[in-house]
Amino acid sequence: MDARTQAGKILESVKSSGIHYRDSLPMIASENIISPLVAAAINSDLHGRYAEGLPGKRYYQGCDDFDTIESIGIESAKRVFNCNFTNIQSTSGTVSNMASLKALAKPGDTITAVSTADGGHISHARMGAVGVRGLNLVTYPWDIDRMEPDIDASMKIIRETSPNLALFGQSVFLFPTPLKELSDAAHEVGAKVMYDGAHVLGLIAGGQFQDPLREGADVMTGSSHKTFPGPQGGFVLSDSSDEKFHRKLNNSIFPGTCSSYHLHHVAGKSVALAEFEEFGAQYAKDIVNNAQALAAALAAEGFDVLAEDRGYTASHQVLTRHGDIDSGAGRKAAQILEDSGIITNMNMLPGDTKAMQPSGLRLGVPELTRVGMGTDEMTDVARFFARALIKNQETSEIKSDVKSFKSNFQNVKYCFESGPAYPNLE
């Protein structure tokens, strides 16, 4: 294959991927789509530019216009997250975590966090940012029934180990963390508290989940492309009024973990922040309503939906178990669903030990909500699941019906200018 053919094949596959998602039900909890105005900011000359430093304090010329962009974004983020400090330069939630770990702990320090087996993110583990930083990891005891750290046992662990940093937040995230009690214990032993809100940041900003910066978190990190509906990127946030602490956090991003921080994405992030100020509260509310409706509808169809006693979910996520622990049933279910036009991800559930052979699925509704689906449509979605996984109907038939159903939901909502959610595919 010559170079020109390679380029053509790549662009053909890019288009094919867009069509695949356009005609399917995208339900991966960590994904979302962007608005037309965010897309315009991203698809700009800024993609190849640099602006090392902060507004008004740059290492390059030519940054005056970007200073305006970033300054507006910073002030908007302070309003959206109700905090004194924001850094909007981070290129991802994981980079936000790496930067914050650099600011809050030094190699050899002890950190407490949720284990990956219990739903913690890989950046909280030795295999990820915690290991890169050379930190000693202690994980919280887990309450399987409540799908959260065991409060009393975790407080005991914190007091016994006296960590330098107590990290909270998960990748599998159904309910708010009991942060006030755990933060109090951490602060008693002199630890800083960090909350990774990557998955639930939009719900937090929209007033629909919890308020970590008022519940004891010294720093909150997050992604700008999950329940917060912007471009790929991240945030570092704090309500501290300590200017020295602000400088430490800023320096942990640049020069600590970023040189070029993808100016086009920062511009897109700033537009998304402006749109969130207008539409974010309603979007967050609709996401939670849809997740709860989907969970109830799946249970009514006969699926094993986790956390029934707590109302299944208070976030954008729903967890379903499809077979025995470590059976690979989740992997099999995810493939059948994709063959049926439903895009999900297999996921370890409590008891699973094999990441590639888990028993469950993690389902998310941010993208379905963003294209205008409501609680009634969640019942329809649950029926598609049942047709594929319980009734074992022909996947090609289901896929055709999913495509027809999805054709009614093709425009992005909760933004200043609605437009095609999956553009440039014809």
From CA 225, how far away is CA 95, in angstroms rounded?
14
pTM of this structure: 0.97
Domain boundaries, the chain: 26-34+279-420, 38-275
Distance CA 340, CA 399 (A): 4
Q: What is the pLDDT along the chain (426 residues), one digit of tens a residue?
A: 899 999 999 999 999 999 999 999 999 999 999 999 999 999 999 999 999 999 999 999 999 999 999 999 999 999 999 999 999 999 999 999 999 999 999 999 999 999 988 888 989 988 888 999 999 999 999 999 899 999 999 999 999 999 999 999 999 999 999 999 999 999 999 999 999 999 999 999 999 999 999 999 999 999 999 999 999 999 999 999 999 999 999 999 999 999 989 999 999 999 999 999 999 999 999 999 999 999 999 999 999 999 999 999 999 999 999 999 999 999 999 999 999 999 999 999 989 999 999 999 999 999 999 999 999 999 999 999 999 999 999 999 999 999 999 999 999 999 999 999 999 887
CATH architecture of 26-34+279-420: Alpha-Beta Complex (3.90)
Fold entry, domain 38-275: Aspartate Aminotransferase; domain 2 (3.40.640)
d(CA 95, CA 242): 23
Assigned token pair, 69:
């962009």
According to DSSP, the residues that pair with 342 across neighbouring strands are: 25
Q: Rounded CA gap, 49 and 60, in Å?
A: 10
The residues near 368 (Cβ < 8 Å, ≥ 6 apart) are 25, 26, 27, 290, 377, 378, 381, 409
* Cα–Cα–Cα angle for 282, 288, 292, rounded to 5 degrees: 145
- Which DSSP state fits 140? P
